[in-house]
Each structure stands twice: as structure tokens, then as C-alpha cells.
């Protein structure tokens, strides 16, 4: 578990300037009591309540992206999450890069998620009663449907059966296979996009011990179902899924564990798609 410290966090709001996408940052009072002391600049939760969240993520190249998420509850009981993604620039400014509207509703048995900002999106349906079962997943995701793999002698393998992000290599040749769900790509061990995917898949597995220790596998599975069909990773969406699965919204550290795990899965998905 991450360690936590009390403190005041610098929080930013924005006001429009001449350009419709260029905004200035302005300080406003933080409502947060806890943050992690071990994440550095990788992830900063700036503001968080039931209807609004603001957080920043620093990528591997040093770029800082700010996400502003606001919730509107509709008359039919569904909730719409508007997510704005900005890149933070010099001179106390930021530029709007993308905006999504995510609808989340529920019935007695299902959670229904849709990206309203994409007319080509399809609904994601999560069965509330379905419990994640490692044994059934291992059986379902067995590699019997990949003849190329089964023809290899004593293969080595790795990656996550929980997220269905895996790799397999032959010990007798240079052959390798990247596996994402029921899809796979045959390649070679030295192919650089494959090596990136393999490292990303191993990063996913490295986080699974903490997921299992915290008893979060069921929630993580539900969040990953919601995210993997598109690019819908959202701090607010994770909180809503917790609530609709009948669980109390947890503290920052637990939420971040889920967010970080699904973020690693999304990164691995991108690297899988990059393999020729």
C-alpha cells in the first residue's frame, strides 16, 4: 500500500482566454485531506468530490496532462461524465486536447456504459452478479485455439490471465506470440514492438499482487471491461463502478491502485496494437 500524508495540494481551475482551446491556470482552494507521498509527479489528484474531479498525469517524456471530470445526473437516473483532457503548457496555460462524454446507467442486474461523444461506440454491459473466477478464466483463455503456439516444444510464457494480456515464446526458435484476449499476433522475440508489449504485459502482472491483496479483482475486472473497448479510463468512472457494484468508494490509495492497474492494461493494449 502507498503511504499517505496530510497536506495542502495546489489545485488549479481554468478561465478562457482568446483561443477557444487555450486556457489559463488559476489557484483555487483544495478540498483534499490525503495524498500519496510516493507517486511524485506521476499522478496528482488536485480536486475530488462526488460531482467533480481534477487530476494531472506526467508521462514518460515529461508532458503533463490535466483531466477535468464533471458529473451531471439525468432525469432518467443515468449519469453523464464529461471528461476534458488538457496538456499543461508553459506560462501558466493549458490547451484542450480532447473531450469525452461518458454515460453510465444501471438496471437491477447490469451496469451500462456508453461514450456519447462517439457515434460509433457500442454499449459496454457489466453483469453485477458475475464474479471473477481465475480457474474458469484460465480454462477459457487456454491457448488451444492457437495452433502455432501448440506446435512449439516447451514454450515459455508470461503476462496476465486476469486482464487477458499475455505473451508466449518458443524455446527452440525465435518465434513469439503476443496475446490480447482472444486475439493474437505471431512475431519474433527480437521485434521491438513485441518487446515493448512483453514489458507492458509484465508490468500488469507486477501490479496484480496488490490487486489481489486488497480484494479488488472483481472491481478491476469490471473497470477493465468498461475501458478496454475504447479509451474511457476515468477516475470518476472508477468511483461510479464501485458504487454501482454496491461497494463504498474507497480511499485515495485504493482508487489509485485500480486506476494505475487499468492504466497499465491500456498501455499494454496500445503496444499490442502497434505490433505489425
Report d(CA 124, CA 129) in Å as an integer: 15
* pLDDT value of residue 23: 55
Q: Is residue 188 part of a domain?
A: no
Q: Is residue 224 part of a domain?
A: yes
* pLDDT value of residue 199: 95
**Is the pLDDT score of 12 beyond 50?**
no
Q: Is residue 113 part of a domain?
A: yes
* pLDDT value of residue 91: 81
Q: Is residue 148 part of a domain?
A: no
Q: Is residue 217 part of a domain?
A: yes
Q: Are 93 and 99 in contact (CB under 8 A)?
A: no
**Is the pLDDT score of 150 beyond 60?**
no
Write the pLDDT tens digit of every residue in 214-246: 778 878 888 888 887 767 789 999 999 888 888
Task: Give the lowest-confidence range in 130-134, 257-261, 270-274.
Answer: 130-134
Q: Is residue 119 part of a domain?
A: yes
Residue 24's pLDDT band (cuts 50, 70, 90) = low
Q: Is residue 109 part of a domain?
A: yes
Residue 100's pLDDT band (cuts 50, 70, 90) = very high
Top pLDDT among 134 and 103 is at 103
Q: Are 189 and 177 in contact (CB under 8 A)?
A: no
Residue 149's pLDDT band (cuts 50, 70, 90) = low
* pLDDT value of residue 3: 34
Q: What is the model's pTM?
A: 0.76
Top pLDDT among 26 and 49 is at 49
Residue 151's pLDDT band (cuts 50, 70, 90) = low
Q: Is residue 37 part of a domain?
A: yes
Report d(CA 187, CA 191) in Å as an integer: 7
**Which structural domain range is residue 14 located in?**
4-132+204-274
* pLDDT value of residue 142: 43
* pLDDT value of residue 87: 93
CA 42 to chain centre: 14
Residue 42's pLDDT band (cuts 50, 70, 90) = confident
**How many structural domains compose the chain?**
1
* pLDDT value of residue 137: 41
57-68 average pLDDT score: 89
* pLDDT value of residue 80: 95
CA 214 to chain centre: 18
**Is the pLDDT score of 104 beyond 90?**
yes
184-202 average pLDDT score: 94
Q: What are phi and psi of 149, to 5 degrees?
A: -70, -45
Task: Give the lowest-confidence range in 35-44, 78-87, 205-214.
Answer: 35-44
Amino acid at each position: 500500500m502507498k503511504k499517505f500524508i496530510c497536506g495542502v495540494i495546489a489545485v488549479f481551475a481554468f478561465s478562457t482566454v482568446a483561443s477557444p482551446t487555450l486556457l489559463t491556470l488559476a489557484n483555487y482552494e483544495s478540498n483534499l485531506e490525503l495524498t500519496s507521498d510516493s507517486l511524485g509527479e506521476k499522478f496528482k489528484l488536485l480536486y475530488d468530490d462526488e460531482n467533480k474531479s481534477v487530476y494531472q498525469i506526467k508521462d514518460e517524456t515529461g508532458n503533463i496532462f490535466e483531466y477535468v471530470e464533471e458529473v451531471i445526473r439525468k432525469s432518467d437516473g443515468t449519469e453523464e461524465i464529461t471528461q476534458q483532457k488538457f496538456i499543461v503548457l508553459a506560462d501558466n496555460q493549458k490547451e484542450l486536447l480532447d473531450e469525452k462524454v461518458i454515460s453510465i446507467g444501471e438496471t437491477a442486474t447490469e451496469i451500462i456504459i456508453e461514450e456519447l461523444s462517439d457515434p460509433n461506440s457500442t454499449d459496454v454491459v457489466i453483469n453485477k452478479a458475475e464474479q471473477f473466477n481465475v480457474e474458469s478464466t484460465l480454462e477459457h483463455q487456454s491457448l488451444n485455439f492457437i495452433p502455432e503456439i501448440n506446435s512449439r516444444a516447451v514454450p515459455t510464457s508470461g503476462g496476465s490471465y486476469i486482464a487477458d494480456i499475455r505473451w508466449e515464446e518458443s524455446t527452440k526458435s525465435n518465434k513469439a506470440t503476443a496475446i490480447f484476449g482472444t486475439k493474437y499476433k505471431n512475431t519474433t522475440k527480437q521485434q521491438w514492438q513485441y518487446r515493448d508489449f512483453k514489458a507492458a504485459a509484465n508490468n500488469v502482472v507486477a501490479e496484480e499482487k496488490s490487486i489481489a491483496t486488497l480484494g479488488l479483482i472483481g472491481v478491476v475486472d469490471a473497470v477493465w471491461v468498461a475501458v478496454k473497448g475504447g479509451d474511457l479510463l476515468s477516475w470518476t468512472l472508477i468511483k461510479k463502478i464501485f458504487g454501482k457494484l454496491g461497494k463504498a468508494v474507497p480511499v485515495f490509495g485504493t482508487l489509485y491502485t485500480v486506476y494505475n492497474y487499468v492504466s497499465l492494461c491500456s498501455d499494454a493494449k496500445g503496444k499490442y496494437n502497434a505490433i505489425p
